[in-house]
Structure 1
Amino acid sequence: MGFHRYVALGDSFTEGVGDPDPHRPNGLRGWADRVAEALAVHQPDLGYANLAVRGRKLGQILDQQLEPALAMRPDLVTVYAGANDIMRPQVDLDALVAAYDAGLGRIAATGARLLVWTAFDPGGSAIYRALRGRFALYNELVRESADRHGATVVDFWRMRDYRDWRYWDTDRMHMSTLGHQRMAVHVLDTLDVSHDLPLPTLPERETPGRAQRLAADLAWTRSFAVPWVHRRLTGRSSGDTVTPRHPDLGPFA
């Protein structure tokens, strides 16, 4: 079937952080733009809105994005949420997904095709590995909610090719341009939409020496880890001054 009104909700993952494009709003492209572009080939009158904003927690996504999305009467909705909650020092996963479930129920009740994501498996990351159990529990609760509402799950946890760091940005938190393209291909295939978007060609794998690895880790700590911790301690977010890239449903361009 063709989609006429596609609305994307979420945080930095859906906003497109890690995939720079100076000619687009917020200087980003991202997997959702790629999906909309492919959908528009089949449905030239496609309306597309992307309400995602980096740093948003699940409650903020529901409070700030759900009502505007429903007002657009979408027939396709994608939602990625929860990662910014999971990485907080404390989180009540049952309460978190209960709120998520209520929001997903409202979207599903409209009859729109609904796609939701599990969180990525951090088992291959020295930084996030300690949270693996929390991620796994969250994912199981999300799968239960998706089953309850007839939503399609994009199972990021099981996409093992993302264990390859060439799919990730230098901040080690967001997908790179190649990662966003790979995700767009997966989403289009999940929707059973024909497209000509190729799987990305990965660059040759580098094998840095110990000194290079230490230098890279130090640069990452200074440029990304320390600012991230500082924002957490001061109650600020990377999205405090950011607005949605495509706040209104309009033609894809």
Structure 2
Amino acid sequence: MSRLFVAIGDSFTEGVGDWEPRLPNGVRGWADRVAKQLSKEDPQWRYANLGIRSRRLDRIIEEQIEPALAMNPDVISFYAGGNDILEFRKDLDKVLADYRAAVDRLAASGAQILLFTGFDIPVHPMLAPFKRRNWKFNDCVRELAAQYGDTVTLVDYWQWDVYADRRMWDVDKLHMNRAGHRYMAIRILELLGANHQLVFEPFADARRIGFIQATRRDVEWLRQWVLPMFGRRLRGVTLGDELAPRWPQPIYPAQGMKKLHRKRSRHKIANLTAPPAP
């Protein structure tokens, strides 16, 4: 009997930072890795991923929740609100109220719900005020997990010290890199009680860098990532505006995700190049 895992959310769910050009939107991510391992244990597992980078909570609620529930999933992962936390003009109390209502809707489906805290990322002092908003968001997530008991599985990765290592993060310092996504997949599979074949090798001791080199890195990071991010917010555009969900319909990961993506891409090209019907 087939079972279904549906992932909804923003860049965290889409897989940004775990770059893979042979998969949809050029990324893999922890959710693909979880789905693949579930399918190795049982090839009847199906998987859909509706996450799109830069999505705010309101659009995730509007665009993803009902399509996800219409698939009648057994497991739903829900990560949303991170982009709202980074906008001071967003009323955080309103964001949290909308988040609670979304979790209520998901939990009413009877599926197992995965909720996530946000990691307390070491950031430049310029971004420190956002940390307090993140702490308040995390408190809300934990309260909901306690409220719903066995219906909700809490992925409390705020508590996982391994993410304090900068080698778990992509160059933008906001998204996990391949190692970070792999470790996340391992921990989620463990929380689900699923067998898996993933391995995470501990890092060697980090190489220390001097003050001048660290300052240069911070300046370059601000120039390449932080300022463009806030510039996009001021213009009202996002990196996900031209993207579609990676796996909008359930697939069988056991059939090979890269193979399925190639087949889907060929089908799309064939439709674009086909002559119009008479």
Query: TM exceeds 0.5?
Result: yes
Query: What SS is found at the alignment partner of 1:180?
Result: helix
Query: What SS is found at the alignment partner of 2:38?
Result: helix
* CA shift for structure 1 position 203: 5.4
Could you say which residue in structure 2 is the equivalent of 1:126? 124
* CA shift for structure 1 position 3: 7.1
Query: What SS is found at the alignment partner of 1:131?
Result: helix
Kindly provide the CA deviation profile for residues 73-92 of structure 1, in whole angstroms up to 9, marking residues without a partner as x: 00010011111001102332
Give distance in 1, aligned partners of 2:169 and 2:245.
23
Q: Which amino acid aligns with 1:70?
A: L
Could you say which residue in structure 2 is the equivalent of 1:161? 162
Kindly provide the CA deviation profile for residues 67-125 of structure 1, in whole angstroms up to 9, marking residues without a partner as x: 11011100010011111001102332332222222222222122111100011123x32
Give unpaired runs (5+ residues) of structure 1.
none
Could you say which residue in structure 1 is the equivalent of 2:108? 109
| Residues 141 and 3 of structure 1, relative CA distance in 2, 3 Å threshold | farther
Give distance in 1, aligned partners of 2:234 and 2:53.
18
* Contact 1:31 1:181 survives alignment (8 Å): yes
CA RMSD of aligned residues (A): 1.7
Q: Which amino acid aligns with 1:36?
A: A
* Contact 2:41 2:196 survives alignment (8 Å): no
Could you say which residue in structure 1 is the equivalent of 2:78? 79
* CA shift for structure 1 position 189: 0.8
* CA shift for structure 1 position 238: 1.2
Moved more, 161-170 or 193-202: 193-202
Could you say which residue in structure 2 is the equivalent of 1:4? 3
Quick check: which has more Rg, 1 or 2? 2
Give distance in 1, aligned partners of 2:131 and 2:213.
27
Could you say which residue in structure 2 is the equivalent of 1:194? 195
* CA shift for structure 1 position 43: 1.6
| Residues 213 and 167 of structure 1, relative CA distance in 2, 3 Å threshold | same
* Contact 1:11 1:56 survives alignment (8 Å): yes
* Contact 2:114 2:154 survives alignment (8 Å): yes
Could you say which residue in structure 1 is the equivalent of 2:141? 142
State the number of aligned residues.
251
Give distance in 2, aligned partners of 1:3 and 1:93.
39
Could you say which residue in structure 2 is the equivalent of 1:69? 68
Give distance in 2, aligned partners of 1:69 and 1:116.
15
* Contact 2:2 2:44 survives alignment (8 Å): no
Could you say which residue in structure 2 is the equivalent of 1:25? 24
Could you say which residue in structure 1 is the equivalent of 2:250? 249
Query: What SS is found at the alignment partner of 1:90?
Result: coil
Could you say which residue in structure 2 is the equivalent of 1:181? 182
Structure 1: which 4+ aligned runs deviate by more than 6 Å? none
TM-score, normalising length: structure 1 = 0.93
Could you say which residue in structure 1 is the equivalent of 2:265? none
* Contact 2:18 2:29 survives alignment (8 Å): yes
Identical counterparts, % of pairs: 42
Give distance in 2, aligned partners of 1:90 and 1:103.
21
* Contact 1:6 1:49 survives alignment (8 Å): yes
Give distance in 1, aligned partners of 2:23 and 2:239.
19
Give distance in 2, aligned partners of 1:192 and 1:232.
40
Moved more, 75-84 or 197-206: 197-206
Give distance in 2, aligned partners of 1:225 and 1:94.
25
Give distance in 2, aligned partners of 1:38 and 1:185.
9
Could you say which residue in structure 2 is the equivalent of 1:240? 241
Query: What SS is found at the alignment partner of 1:9?
Result: strand
TM-score, normalising length: structure 2 = 0.85
